[in-house]
């Protein structure tokens, strides 16, 4: 490992005291590998459970995830264990039995958003936002793989949410930061680190908080996190927020054996993860309740969502097991969402730049439906409506490479390809061959 930046080392020695040697020794070890299981898909992984997450599992070694078909099907997400502590913030600071509107403001590549979707009930809504368009596309891909219909992916600057006064019950700000907690896994983070960058990140974080704070309803919850250690980007940023706004810090319960440092500084409860104390990387999280008054917006959209014909709508109803499904069209694609969030969806699509909303079920061509890849991955797909073909791993990898498979369907038509019972995507079975409909931009290129 490269030498740590001198200014970083000096500060961390003051912070850690006699724990400094243990900290630097931990940075010389291999980072643990952890995944988070999708609770909506039938997948089991052997390993030690991440103590603060119902869905997190440590693996004994790092496999080639790219060559695991069900990884591409959204059966699990490869995620650093410390960041799974987000689950405790939701379980302890919110009522997950209620309908919640949640904003994940810096959501790419999708680790926290897919985790949030695993926690929310079917009536709730997640807006997963990413300001950089290319990263928003990756975010949308991972949301599709997770298979939930109660998510909207947007591509907006945080300041665009200012006008959505009082809309959200929960706002998650996983803030862009100096990345000190990533030094073990990402040598580039160490090369890019400087005191000037820390200062720049702190200012950017405060701008983001100022932009999204108005969108949080009164008594709503702000969950703030970084993958860095320093006070300026963590406690001091939240102290600044409290000086600007009427807010209170919320204490979370942690187990002694978890190894998390609970720090209380000027009324701010912060939770620090250090690699010599936890089986994970550097991480910080804090929860703030908004006490400012905030009036909820009128959800009336200026223009409603386009809807398909009655004939198409009746056919689409046979494709989904969603309770009270609602359908809308965008550029010849039919999307499905729950009726419980239809009004909110129309309102948000009227105010934000969206990448995807709900589940893209089908492309409409001359009153015929061509299934979308997202439909195959959707947890609410009515699989009984389609022919299914279970394939072994070799054929599954050929399918994911957009190659011809040995397996053949029994009859013609759109067919759902599965591996270990988990859908991977579609083929169109013809008389003598099967057209592979896997998205070409998603195909895997790694040799087996």
For residue 233, which phi and psi values (nearest 5 degrees)?
A: -85, -10
CA distance 185 to 370: 42
Fill in the DSSP letter of residue 418.
E
Buried b (16+ CB within 10 A) or exposed e, 25-52: ebbeeebbbbbbbbebbebeeeeeebbb
Q: Taking the CB of residue 207, how many other CB atoms lie within 10 A of it?
A: 12
What distance lies between CA 5 and its chain's CA centroid? 32
Q: Taking the CB of residue 91, how many other CB atoms lie within 10 A of it?
A: 16
- Verify whether residue 227 is a known catalytic residue: yes
Non-local (6+) Cβ contacts of 29 within 8 A are 184, 275
- The pair of three-digit structure tokens given for residue 5, joined into one six-digit string: 């930046």
Residue from 148, 177, 201, 227 carrying the catalytic annotation = 227
Whole-Å CA distances, 256 to 253, 333, 378: 10, 51, 39
Q: Minimal CA–CA distance to 106: which of 78, 83, 88?
A: 83
Q: Taking the CB of residue 277, how many other CB atoms lie within 10 A of it?
A: 16
Taking the CA atoms of the chain, what radius of gyration do you get in angstroms?
23
Active site members: 227
């Amino acid at each position: 490992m490269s030498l740590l930046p001198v200014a970083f080392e000096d500060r961390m020695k003051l912070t850690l005291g006699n724990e400094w040697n243990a900290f630097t020794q931990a940075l010389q070890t291999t980072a643990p590998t952890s995944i988070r299981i999708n609770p909506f898909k039938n997948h089991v992984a052997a390993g030690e459970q991440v103590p603060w997450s119902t869905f997190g599992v440590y693996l004994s070694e790092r496999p080639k995830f790219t060559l695991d078909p069900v990884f591409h099907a959204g059966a699990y997400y490869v995620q650093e264990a410390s960041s799974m502590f987000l689950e405790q913030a939701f379980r302890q600071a919110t009522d997950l039995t209620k309908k919640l509107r949640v904003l994940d403001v810096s959501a790419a590549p999708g680790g926290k958003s897919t985790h949030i979707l695993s926690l929310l009930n079917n009536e709730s809504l997640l807006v997963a936002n990413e300001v950089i368009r290319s990263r928003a596309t990756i975010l949308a891909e991972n949301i599709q793989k997770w298979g939930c219909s109660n998510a909207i992916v947007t591509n907006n600057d945080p300041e665009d949410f200012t006008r959505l006064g009082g809309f959200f019950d929960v706002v998650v700000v996983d803030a862009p930061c100096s990345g000190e907690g990533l030094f073990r896994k990402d040598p580039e983070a160490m090369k890019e680190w400087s005191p000037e960058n820390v200062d720049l990140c702190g200012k950017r974080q405060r701008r983001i908080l100022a932009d999204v704070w108005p969108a949080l309803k009164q008594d709503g919850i702000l969950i703030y996190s970084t993958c860095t250690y320093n006070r300026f980007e963590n406690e001091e940023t939240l102290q600044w927020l409290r000086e600007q706004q009427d807010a209170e810090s919320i204490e979370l319960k942690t187990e002694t054996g978890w190894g998390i440092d609970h720090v209380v500084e000027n009324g701010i409860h912060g939770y620090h993860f250090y690699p010599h104390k936890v089986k994970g990387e550097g991480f910080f999280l804090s929860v703030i309740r908004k006490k400012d008054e905030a009036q909820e917006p009128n959800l009336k959209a200026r223009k409603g969502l386009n809807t398909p014909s009655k004939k198409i709508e009746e056919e689409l109803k046979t494709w989904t097991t969603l309770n009270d499904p609602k359908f809308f069209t965008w550029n010849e694609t039919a999307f499905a969402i729950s009726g419980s969030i239809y009004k909110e969806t129309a309102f948000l699509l009227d105010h934000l730049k969206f990448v995807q909303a709900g589940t893209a079920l089908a492309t409409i061509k001359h009153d015929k439906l061509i299934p979308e890849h997202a439909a195959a991955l959707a947890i609410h797909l009515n699989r009984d409506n389609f022919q299914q073909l279970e394939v072994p791993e070799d054929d599954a990898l050929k399918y994911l490479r957009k190659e011809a498979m040995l397996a053949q369907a029994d009859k013609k038509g759109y067919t759902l390809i599965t591996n270990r019972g988990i859908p991977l995507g579609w083929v169109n079975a013809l008389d003598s061959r099967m057209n592979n409909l896997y998205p070409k931009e998603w195909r895997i290129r790694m040799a087996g």
